[in-house]
Amino acid sequence: MEVTLRRSAALVARNDGLRSTAAALTAAAGSRHFSFSSLTRPPPNYPGHVPLTGIEKAALAIGSGLMSLRDPRRGDLIAAFGEATATPYFIYRLRDAMLASPTGRRILRDRPRITSASLNLPRLRALPPNTVGRTYAAWLDREGVSPDTRAPVRYIDDPECAYVMQRYRECHDFYHALTGLPIVREGEVALKAFEFANTLLPMTGFSVFAAVTLKPRERRRFREIYLPWALRNGLRAKEVINVYWEEQLERDVDDLRRELGVEPPPDLREIRKREREERKRQKEQAAAAAAGGA
């Protein structure tokens, strides 16, 4: 128990992303309690892979999960938690869903990566309005984000499953663009609920608990509007992991939504804007009434 607690503490150390975590795990490999054998840790299965024992994965899951709840902005911890909890079942289920689809099999064979260079963002911005590519590029520009920030997968042993997790991670912004949900915490929680219903990855379900950190009106809106939407659409939609986004960029986004079975939720940015305007109006009225009374 003492060794496990030390391991959990090391896993959540804040240095350069999770590099220090991986180093701590590798250094501990000499211990008979954590080593794969009495001699050495096995070699990595792909570039960047860090082989972990079951105990190490459990410690990584617990430590990164607790710390990411405290600070949801720590993308490195969320990524580590996702990888540590994806095995032994869930990532294989998602891989099998891709193998069951002709398009999914092509994605696994081609292994495309989603970056600003591979997508040619200037070209996407020049596409006609309401195309998938233009909608995606406009969403990136509006939210001020880039597809180049997704961390590489490190803790999933099977190379093919590691790619499946990488593909899910890099497609996340396409799910944002498809649904129109912004990257504010309220929008992220709603999208994670949708992803959980569609992919069953434990990390996405765990992330929904971040709803408790929302403001009261946001929690009520999530409970009454966005959670029902997420569950309904995530369950009935086709497996979004099987969308070959690179081949859909010039397609009408509404046609793709209909094909997938995804209806956009109420515009969260517009709702939040109206609420801000209403609060501002009420404050002005209150200030005017106070001045008149004086």
| pLDDT tens track for 200-250 | 999 999 889 889 989 999 999 999 999 999 999 999 999 999 999 999 999
Q: Are residues 92 and 200 in the same domain?
A: yes
Domain assignment of residue 74, given as a range: 1-85
The count of structural domains within the chain is 2
pTM of the model: 0.82
Tokens 């939040």 locate to 272
188 belongs to an annotated ligand binding site: yes
Q: How many CB atoms lie within 10 A of CB 53?
A: 16
d(CA 288, CA 294): 10
The residue out of 85, 120, 138 marking a domain boundary is 85
- Kindly state the tokens that stand for 60: 């990584």
8 lies in some domain = yes
173 belongs to an annotated ligand binding site: yes
267 belongs to an annotated ligand binding site: no
d(CA 48, CA 162): 11
33 belongs to an annotated ligand binding site: no
245 lies in some domain = yes
129 lies in some domain = yes
The residue out of 61, 85, 109 marking a domain boundary is 85
Q: Are residues 249 and 149 in the same domain?
A: yes
Q: Are residues 136 and 173 in the same domain?
A: yes
288 lies in some domain = no
Q: Are residues 221 and 113 in the same domain?
A: yes
With cut-offs at 50, 70 and 90, classify the pLDDT of residue 189: very high
Q: Are residues 147 and 258 in the same domain?
A: yes
The residue out of 43, 65, 85 marking a domain boundary is 85
Convert 253-273 to b/e letters by CB count within 10 Å (16 or more is b): beebbeebebeebeebeeebe
pLDDT > 90? residue 76 = no
